[in-house]
Chain A
Amino acid sequence: MGWDGFVTAYTITALDGVAYGLLLFVIAAGLTLIFGVAGVFSMAHGTLYLAGAYLAWHLADDAWTGLTLALGVAVAVGALGGAGLAAAVRPLADRPLDQVLATLGIAYIAADQFSLVFGAEPRSVDPPRAVAGSVSLGDYQYPVYRLGFIAVGVLLVLGLFWLVERSRTGAVVRAVVADPGMAAATGLRTGTVRTGVLIGGGVLAVTAGVLGAPVIGPAPGVDTTILVYSLIVCVVGGLGSIRGALLAALGVGQALTLGVALAPGAASFVLAVAMLSALTVRQRTALAGRPA
């Protein structure tokens, strides 16, 4: 083994961290835009991921058709879920605490129904047979699916960046994040933008659930775990910032894989410190908070 062996082991773990971070980014990008545009801290965001993961478990077989079907259904479920959440929080405008309560109530009911339908035990989801094996990287075997996931994740990141930072739609979204009042005064339909962002975030979260099911499989409680990690990504990256979310997601991914491997048990500590430093450094700008 020697020194080289150790280096490779950590490199492999770091690669896992990249996959984890990209998955978190796809989920958290939706949450950070939802908070930035609509001011809603959706407690049901992890529920959408879990819905996607259960979709993958239910529909996926060892061929591509299962995954394609699951992805198609995921887009529909995500859009419906996002529209439902938008309709649920619409009467609660200017009452952020009530929005939290409402989305939390929805998350509770959904979690109870999930365990009723899919059982209380964790389910494992296998990737399609074509990408089920592993390739050798140096002395180590690495799952092909995870490499493919990283590739798809990078594509999703590029697509999201183009959409938010280059396209006209993105310009409208960024305008509403920056100054909702001014955006409304210039004739932008802020209500439509809010609904659109909730729908987009829903589609992203459920799709991430289908793609991520072989990485973070469906089980009761996964919804909360995903919600917490994407929340930390949002806080560390700055609420409403897509660039910050990407950097934070990659950092959190490393903390959760490499951090656990290097210093077992320190991961939560590292994440708490990351949140503290983010709040300390940027408390006057991105994290001024909205009145309760």
Chain B
Amino acid sequence: MITTLTPSSGATVEPVAPCREVVPAWLWPAAGAGALAAAVAMPWLVNGYFISLAATALVMAVLAMSAQVLVGLAGLPPLGQAAHLTVGAYTAATIATLTSLGPVQLVAAAAAGAVAAALTGLLAVRARGTTFLMVTFGVGELVHAGASRWAPGGSEGVHTPPVVALPGLPAMTRPGWIYLYVLACTLLIGAAVAVLVRTRFALLLRGIAAHEPRVQAAGHHPRRLLLAAYTFAGGIAGAAGALSIAVTRYVSPADAAMAISALALAAALIGSGSMTGACAGAILLVAARDWAGGLLAGHGPTLLGLCFLLLAYLPRHRLAELTIRLLRRRA
């Protein structure tokens, strides 16, 4: 049953697959290598402001991947991923009093994010569709409210010392080095996610998104699978929290705000199912909010709101189909 179900669902959801037939085979790896080279060379090319902006964009890209695991694979739109990011960030801040080692903070934050997600997931995976969105939103805001009361530092937040990338290296204070550390961690997390989306587990998640009763009839437990996906996504979000500590050296309950969850979800939707697309969407939205918003006298929220409206009204599924068709015709 599963063997007949999985290839078809895999082929329909993956939007990149048809492009590979038309575009020369060498172009994708070449474009990837070019983008990577540009990303690594960035600290030597642009000023400090853009580098810290880029580091923020990378943190949001990781959070967007976390949202994409849920909405892109399992078809469940989450609006509370910032809560798991905050749990990770506070964990990393607590670990930072013991050790400044970035990787240790990263792993601890990911674990804490996963545990928090496993707990809130018990609530969330009972719902589907818009109700799932409402429940994750509610849970996220409750964590937001709880953080200002319970978390260390209260609503003032906590400042942390600079992170050390590897044992023996000095603490990172220059934005260029922090950016490169965040870039390396993002690539590692991206690799882990790339492995995940190629597993049978991911195919089962796509199966749930396409037709849940059929997956259930095949003897699987959709709710357990979704809880596992939710936990995994929470772990990625927690890791994003550790990276956000590395960038800003500061965590406050404001990190759990709905604005951050909404940005992650919108980035995942811009990516329409693909992880690379989600990262690109996050970079685009951070650029709109922080860079273009800064040019427009701090009206980032208005700009972000316009982005959301644009995203809602543009027929993006039809646009994606059109692009694919055009690419085919040219070949």
> Residues on B close to A: CB < 8 A?
75-77, 79, 122-123, 126-135, 137-139, 141-143, 145-146, 149-150, 257-259, 262, 266, 269, 299, 301-302, 304-309, 311-313
Q: A97 to B126, Cβ gap below 8 A?
A: no
Chain A to chain B contacts (Cβ below 8 Å), 29 pairs: A39-B130, A91-B313, A92-B312, A98-B311, A100-B79, A100-B130, A100-B133, A101-B266, A105-B304, A109-B301, A109-B305, A112-B299, A224-B258, A231-B138, A235-B134, A265-B146, A267-B145, A268-B142, A268-B143, A272-B123, A276-B122, A276-B123, A279-B123, A287-B127, A289-B128, A289-B129, A289-B131, A292-B77, A292-B132
Q: A275 to B312, Cβ gap below 8 A?
A: no
Q: A279 to B127, Cβ gap below 8 A?
A: yes
Q: A104 to B308, Cβ gap below 8 A?
A: yes
Most buried by A among B122, B138, B139: B138
Q: CB-defined interface of A223-235 with B at 8 Å, one 1/0 digit per residue?
A: 0100010011011
Which listed residue (A39, A100, A108, A267) contacts B305, Cβ 8 A?
A108
Q: B302 to A108, Cβ gap below 8 A?
A: yes
Residue of A nearest to B293 (CB): A112
Interface residues in A91-148 by Cβ distance below 8 A to B read 91-92, 95-102, 104-109, 111-113, 116
Q: Please, which residues of chain A bring their CB within 8 A of the CB of B129? A: 96, 289-292
A20 adjacent to chain B (CB < 8 Å): no
Which listed residue (A100, A231, A292) contacts B128, Cβ 8 A?
A292
A280 to B143 alpha-carbon distance, docked (Å)? 20
Nearest Cβ distance between residue B267 and chain A, in whole angstroms? Answer: 12
Q: B305 to A275, Cβ gap below 8 A?
A: no
Most buried by B among A95, A105, A290: A105
Q: A41 to B133, Cβ gap below 8 A?
A: yes
Q: Please, which residues of chain B bring their CB within 8 A of the CB of A97? A: 77, 130, 133, 269
Interface of A is mostly: helix
A271 adjacent to chain B (CB < 8 Å): yes
Q: Please, which residues of chain B bring their CB within 8 A of the CB of A39? A: 130
Interface of B is mostly: helix
> Residues on A close to B: CB < 8 A?
39, 41, 91-92, 95-102, 104-109, 111-113, 116, 224, 228, 231-232, 234-235, 239, 264-265, 267-269, 271-272, 275-276, 279-280, 283, 287-292
Q: B150 to A105, Cβ gap below 8 A?
A: no
Q: Please, which residues of chain B bring their CB within 8 A of the CB of A109? A: 301-302, 305-306, 309
A108 to B304 alpha-carbon distance, docked (Å)? 7
Given contacts A283-B126, A287-B131, contact A104 B262 (CB under 8 A): yes
Residue of B nearest to A224 (CB): B258
Residue of B nearest to A267 (CB): B145
Q: Please, which residues of chain B bring their CB within 8 A of the CB of A107? A: 305
Q: A228 to B76, Cβ gap below 8 A?
A: no
Residue of A nearest to B125 (CB): A279
The 7 closest A-B pairs by CB, nearest first: A108-B305, A105-B308, A289-B131, A109-B305, A102-B312, A105-B309, A101-B312
A228 to B261 alpha-carbon distance, docked (Å)? 14
Q: Please, which residues of chain A bring their CB within 8 A of the CB of B269? A: 97, 101
Q: Please, which residues of chain B bring their CB within 8 A of the CB of A95? A: 312
Beyond A105-B304, A272-B123, 14 additional contacts (C-beta under 8 Å) are A41-B130, A96-B130, A105-B312, A231-B134, A265-B149, A268-B146, A269-B142, A275-B138, A279-B135, A287-B131, A289-B127, A289-B129, A292-B76, A292-B132
